Amino acid sequence: MVMLSLTAYSVNRIKRNTERKKEFGYNFDKNDWDKFENTWEVMKLCFFCFIAAILCSCTGIAGGMVLGPLFLTYNMIPSVMSGTNQYITLVASMSVCLQFLMAKNMLVNYALCFGSMTIVCAYIGISSVNSIVKKSGKQSVITVILAACLIIALLSLPLKFLLLNKTAHSGTDVTAKTSTETKS
C-alpha cells in the first residue's frame, strides 16, 4: 500500500513537471506519454511488474523475458526497453552476487574472469547493435535480435536434453564394453 501511494505521488509529480515543460515549449518524443497519461495506467504497469517479479523469482528466469514484451505493449522504444531490462538485470545480478559473497560461496577468481569476459562481450554486442541501428535507421533491429536470442534459447534446451541423453546411452555402452574387455 505504501508503494502504491508513493507511485501515485510520483506520477502526479511527473505530470506537474510535464505541464511545466509543455509551457516552456519542450518537444516530447511521440512515444514519451503515449499510455501514461493517468495514474491508473502506471498502477497497472506496476501491478504487472509485480506479477512478473513473482513469476521470475519462482522460476529463476530473467525478468527481461517477461518485462520486455510488456514494455513493448506500452509502445516503449526498443532501445529504451532493452536498456531498462539491462538495468533490472544489473540490480538482480548484483544482489545475487552480494548474497553469495556474504555466504562465502563465491569463487572470486571465476567471478572476476567471467565478469571481465561479460564486460568485453557486452561492449562488443552493444557497439555492434548500435552500428546496425544507425545503418538501418530502424529500432526494430533490437526487437528482431532479442526474438532470435529467445528462439535460440528455446531450441537449445531440448537440444541439450537430446545430446545429454544420447551421450548417457553411448557412455553406458562404452563402459560395459571396457569392463568386459578387462575381465578377459
pTM tops 0.75 = no
Q: Per-residue confidence of the chain (184 residues) as pLDDT tens digits?
A: 677 777 778 777 777 877 788 788 887 776 665 555 677 777 777 788 788 778 777 776 667 667 777 777 777 777 777 788 778 777 777 888 888 899 998 888 998 999 899 899 989 988 888 888 888 888 777 778 878 887 888 888 888 888 888 877 776 554 445 445 555 5
> What pLDDT is attached to residue 124?
92
Q: Are 75 and 35 in contact (CB under 8 A)?
A: yes
Return the number of other C-beta atoms located less than 10 Å from residue 89's C-beta: 14
Q: Within 13 Å and on the Cβ side, how many CA atoms surround 19?
A: 7
Distance CA 149, CA 129 (A): 13
The domain limits of the chain are: 1-104
> What pLDDT is attached to residue 148?
85
Distance CA 129, CA 145 (A): 9
> What pLDDT is attached to residue 48?
81
Cell numbers that stand for 65 in this block = 523475458
> What pLDDT is attached to residue 80?
78
Q: Which residues contact 143 (CB under 8 A, 6 or more apart)?
A: 72, 78
Distance CA 119, CA 117 (A): 5
Distances (CA, A) of 80 to 72, 75, 86, 87: 10, 10, 10, 10
